[in-house]
Amino acid sequence: MLSDIVLDIQDLHVYYGSIHAVKGINVKVQRGKIVTLIGANGAGKTTTLSCVAGLIKSKRGHIKFNGKDITNKPPHIINLTGIALVPEGRRIFPNLTVYENLIMGAYKRNDKENIKRDLEWIFSLFPRLKERLSQLGGTLSGGEQQMLAISRALMSRPQLIMMDEPSLGLAPVLVEEVFNVIKKINSEGTTVLLVEQNAVGALAISDYGYVLETGKIVLEGPGKELLKDEEVKKAYLGI
C-alpha cells in the first residue's frame, strides 16, 4: 500500500560552489494535496525543486518519492517515476507548434488512445490551446505559453507536478485562471508542489505551506493558517 507521503525531502543540503543555498530542509508532500514553498528571492525555493527534478545535485540529505530514494538520479529517470516540473520562465519549445510541444510531454508514452483523451482533457482546462494548436509556441502570449508549459508537463501523466512561479509576469485575470487550473488539476488527483511569489494566491489554495529564508525553513503550517500569521503578513503578504 502506498504511503500517504508522496514526496519526502530529508535534511537536504545544496551548494553552488562555496554558497550553501539549501541548509538541511525537511519537506513532506502528502498525496493528493497542494503544498507551497514561499520566501524571498534567493531563499532556496527554485533550488529545492531543481534538486527534486534531478537538475542539480545535493551535497547531503535524501529525497524519497513513493518511499523510493531518488536522490541525485538523472532527470529523465525522475520523470519516469512520475514527477514533472514546470520550470520558471516557461521554457517551451518556441519553434515547435502547440501540438508538437504537447506531444513532447508524452514522449515516454505509447498509449495512443489515452494520449488522445489527455489532449481533450488539456483542451478542457485551456480552450485557447486548442484554438492555437498549429501555432508556433514562440508566437503565443506569455499567459498562453504558461498554459502550454503546464499542459506539456501534464501530458506525462505525473503523480506529482512541481510548478515554479507559474503566475510570474501574468496579468491579474490570468493569474486567477492559473490558480483555478491548479485547483482543478489537484481535484482530479494530481499532487502539486508549488513555488510562488504570489504568496497570498498560493497559500489560499494550498493545504500546507513552508516559509523559506536563506535556505532554511523558518515556518510551516496549513496554508490558511500561514495567511493569518502576523510575521508572514508583514514579510511576504504586504499586509
SS3 of 147, please? Answer: helix
The answer to whether the CB of 122 falls within 8 A of the CB of 161 is no
Q: For each of the chain's 239 residues, which pLDDT tens digit applies?
A: 456 999 999 999 999 999 999 999 999 999 999 999 999 888 999 999 999 999 999 999 999 999 999 999 999 999 999 999 999 887 899 999 999 999 999 888 878 888 999 999 999 999 999 999 999 999 999 889 999 999 999 999 999 999 999 998 888 888 998 999 999 999 999 999 999 989 999 999 999 999 999 999 999 999 999 999 888 887 776 65
* Containing structural domain, residue 59: 5-237
Q: How many angstroms separate the CA atoms of 98 and 100, rounded?
A: 6
Q: What is the CATH number of the domain that holds 122?
A: 3.40.50.300
Q: Which of 32, 122, 155, 112 is nearest to 132 (CA)?
A: 122
pTM beyond 0.85, yes or no: yes
Number of domains comprising the chain: 1
Angle, nearest 10°, between helix axes 172-187 and 142-154?
A: 10
